[in-house]
Amino acid sequence: MTTTPPGAAKRPTLLTVICILSFIGGAIGLWGGYANAFTDFPQKQVEESKNQLQEMTDQVGADSPMIGLLEDGLAMNEKNLENAKPIGYSNLVLSLISITGVWLMWNLRKTGFWIYLVASVGGLTSAFYFLGGEGLFANITTILTTIITVIFIILFGVNVKHMR
């Protein structure tokens, strides 16, 4: 049985939950960075997008609004393919920095918040830089990623008062 020594800070439940979610997000970021930088995953994504676009065009015709969305998805995947290595490397580095910040916050260290903040802003910046806002699909993805990132920054920021 483990007990907390008297006077030791206890990690709040919310901080525990968002740290665990952030560790999972960091692991996904590492995997995505590896896939982009060192595998043929981006090429497979483009091929799959082209096949889906062709199948949908054959089924519903070229006038369907779905075709435009699939074309936007294909354009985003092609842009990802063009920048696969730099995107992969930046994802790897920023995910490692983010995980380091989360680990520090897990251990109730305030510096972890600032490290996490830098990695989060860096991740958003690299997404805008490499993928741009071309097309509805890219814009929706960018907006959702930004919203989730801001929510996590706010949730971690609320918990900074529990850190030393």
128-161 pLDDT, tens digit per residue, is 888 776 677 778 888 899 999 999 999 999 999 9
- Residue 45's contacts (CB-CB under 8 Å, 6 or more residues apart) are 77, 80, 81
Q: pTM (2 decimals)?
A: 0.86
> Which of 86, 77, 75, 114 shows the shortest CA–CA distance to 98?
114
CB 112 within 8 A of CB 102: yes
Q: Nearest to residue 142, comparing CAs of 115, 118, 123?
A: 123
Q: For residue range 9-53, what is the model confidence (pLDDT) as tens digits? A: 799 999 999 999 999 999 999 999 999 999 999 999 999 989 988
